[in-house]
Amino acid sequence: QNIHLVAKWLSSLEKKLEQHSEGSHRDFRVFVSAEPAPCPESHVIPQGILENSIKITSEAPTGMHANLHKALDNFSQDTLEMCSQEKEFRSILFALCYFHAVVAERRKFGPQGWNRPYPFSTGDLTISVSVLYNYLEASSKVPYDDLRYLVGEIMYGGHITDSWDRRLCKTYLEEFIKPEMLEGELCLAPGFPLPGNMDYNGYHQYIDDALPPESPHLYGLHPNAEIGFLTQRSEQLLRTVLELQPRDGRAGEGGAGTREETVQALLEEMLEKLTDEFNMAELIAKVEERTPYAVVALQECERMNVLTAEIRRSLAELELGLKGELTMTSDMESLENSLFLDTVPESWLKRSYPSTASLGSWFADLLARINELEAWTRDFSLPSTLWLGGFFNPQSILTAIMQTTARKNKWPLDKMTLQCDVTKKSREDFASAPREGAYVHGLFMEGARWDAQTGMITDARLKELTPAMPVLFIKAIPDDKQDTRGMYPCPLYKTRQRGPTYVWTFNLKTKENPSKWVLAGVALLLQI
């Protein structure tokens, strides 16, 4: 709706309420319902109305226990009795309630829960149960595939925009809704079997008695997922507190100007450490043959030049501003603020790569990236191992591996894929690049760990949130030669924000069912 019309209407409502506050019936009441505003600009309810009203909020339940009860509250004993295939209907209805509670509450684990947050609602659940009823009434056999498709791809899947989230939703339904559920062999979570045939109150009682205490296990996640999301929440809170500090705060007597001094010192140190830009003409002249690898190296140098030029320009400008030789602009002030608060300035981020690091670590990382590029462009021979996280565009180097192999073997590029073999070594153990493909280092795993002994994915150790991976050997092979049995297709992301920072998919060996790693949100990361 048009927010301006609402605001106008609300102010006339406020006047009307004032007029009717006297001389009206003593039981006269006005009920107004509202939903949370998406942004501060939408806070349009007049203060007068807010101050004179009794406010009641309906908080979304937290935790699986409350969510599962709330999901079941959408139904009644009558619902349970309405279907002719009573046993099947009740079992699947309870499984759908658990599924609904899990997908709604998994959001709290951030990107490891869902790549993007989705507005799942009770409407999705009640419509799914209606579909279940119609299908069971029309067929003597339970159409498991159809039900999973309708619920996972349409009712809930209709909200989902990310293909990895779609895979997660589908996997939950494959685990919860299958023929074994009627044979009493299905656990919705470790230690929580799907209940048998009960009445409505019996199901509520069963949740109270049998559901294990709240933990990431109820969602198929590793306990580390909770440590991760609580840590991020605390960091966010502390950062907000830091940003709320008064800008001109003086640290006691004699602390005048400390803010400027801190910024000045940092600024000088950065300008001193920042190396010269790459001389592109010189580098292009040095390249004998524009191989796919050489093209990537040149592109990376160009992008690095754009970033370092902006850093140098903005720091030099701010230095003049602090000396009083230039008038301070709002851009210069926000740069000063970023330096003081140890956050990466906006104009630098725009020209750089996704990162969740503080300014100090980000700058050290930037210098390391420049070092790698300098080493590579000395003679343009492929480094013994590539630091995949050090690229602006990691996809380009992975594509270059395929292009190089395709040219060498005269294979069509669109019929190729990358195979990823995890070695047992670290980067120091490699003296030269492989004859075909490339060695890459600097990857981390979240949600599980790599067992170098068995060469498989295995459960993470407690409190080790993102264990480092050994060096990976990446080589290109024809599509039809890849082995997908006993493999978990693992997404690789640039940062822990996941979502839009997706890079590639690597098949990793697993002894356990790959669905376990899907539910645990297992991914590879280029930086932590």
Q: Within 10 A of 220 (CB to CB), how many other CB atoms are there?
A: 23
Smallest CA-to-CA distance from 427 within 468, 369, 368 is with 468
pLDDT tens-digit readout, 40-52: 677 788 888 888 8
Task: Count Cβ neighbours within 10 Å for each residue of 349-381 and write b for 16 or more, e otherwise.
Answer: eeebbebbbebeebbebbeebbeebeebbeebe
Between residues 256 and 104, the one the model is more confident about:
104
Confidence at residue 250, expressed as pLDDT on a 0 to 100 scale: 47
Task: Give percent of the chain above pLDDT 70.
Answer: 96
Give bridge partners of residue 438 from the DSSP assignment: 474
Confidence at residue 1, expressed as pLDDT on a 0 to 100 scale: 52
3 state SS of 468? strand
Is the pLDDT at 362 greater than 50? The verdict is: yes
Q: How far is CA 35 from CA 10, 32, 435, in A?
A: 15, 10, 61
In angstroms, the CA 294 to CA 400 distance is: 9
In angstroms, the CA 194 to CA 189 distance is: 9
Confidence at residue 9, expressed as pLDDT on a 0 to 100 scale: 85
Between residues 456 and 250, the one the model is more confident about:
456
Confidence at residue 229, expressed as pLDDT on a 0 to 100 scale: 82
Domains of the chain: 3-52 (no CATH), 64-221 (1.10.8.720), 259-381 (1.20.1270.280), 382-527 (3.10.490.20)
Residue type present at position 223: P
Could you tell me the pLDDT band of residue 68, with boundaries at 50, 70 and 90? very high
pLDDT tens-digit readout, 484-523: 889 999 999 999 999 999 999 999 999 999 999 999 999 9
Confidence at residue 153, expressed as pLDDT on a 0 to 100 scale: 94
Could you tell me the pLDDT band of residue 254, with boundaries at 50, 70 and 90? very low
Q: What contacts 184, CB < 8 A, 6 or more positions away?
A: 193, 194, 196
Phi and psi based region of residue 37 (left: phi greater than 0; alpha: psi -120 to 50; beta: remaining):
beta
Euclidean distance between the first and final Cα of the chain, in Å?
Answer: 41
Lowest mean pLDDT among 165-174, 238-247, 442-451: 238-247
Could you tell me the pLDDT band of residue 256, with boundaries at 50, 70 and 90? very low
Average pLDDT, the chain: 91
If DSSP states are collapsed to H, E and C, what string results for 52-74? Answer: HCCCCCCCCCCHHHHHHHHHHCC
Confidence at residue 253, expressed as pLDDT on a 0 to 100 scale: 46
Confidence at residue 61, expressed as pLDDT on a 0 to 100 scale: 73
Between residues 414 and 204, the one the model is more confident about:
204
Q: Within 10 A of 36 (CB to CB), how many other CB atoms are there?
A: 6
Smallest CA-to-CA distance from 424 within 461, 467, 469 is with 469
- Model's pTM, two decimal places? 0.86
Lowest mean pLDDT among 208-212, 238-242, 274-278, 407-411: 238-242
Is the pLDDT at 418 greater than 50? The verdict is: yes
Lowest mean pLDDT among 22-26, 90-94, 449-453: 22-26
Are residues 525 and 496 in contact, defined by beta-carbon separation less than 8 angstroms? Answer: yes
Confidence at residue 43, expressed as pLDDT on a 0 to 100 scale: 78
Q: How far is CA 144 from CA 148, 187, 320, 401, 479, in A?
A: 6, 17, 70, 42, 32
Could you tell me the pLDDT band of residue 257, with boundaries at 50, 70 and 90? low
Residue type present at position 309: A
Q: Specify the residue for token string 């956050």.
A: 343
Smallest CA-to-CA distance from 96 within 118, 66, 127, 65 is with 127
In angstroms, the CA 492 to CA 409 distance is: 27
Confidence at residue 264, expressed as pLDDT on a 0 to 100 scale: 93
Is the pLDDT at 11 greater than 80? The verdict is: yes
Could you tell me the pLDDT band of residue 38, with boundaries at 50, 70 and 90? low
Average pLDDT on 341-352 reads: 93
Between residues 61 and 296, the one the model is more confident about:
296
Q: Which helix (H) or strand (E) holds 383?
A: none
Question: Where are any strands of DSSP class E within 270-339?
Answer: none
Radius of gyration of the chain (CA): 29
Between residues 260 and 257, the one the model is more confident about:
260
Average pLDDT on 286-314 reads: 94
Confidence at residue 373, expressed as pLDDT on a 0 to 100 scale: 95
Q: Which two tokens stand for residue 110?
A: 């951030």
Is the pLDDT at 245 greater than 80? The verdict is: no
In angstroms, the CA 72 to CA 200 distance is: 9
Is the pLDDT at 251 greater than 50? The verdict is: no
Confidence at residue 185, expressed as pLDDT on a 0 to 100 scale: 83
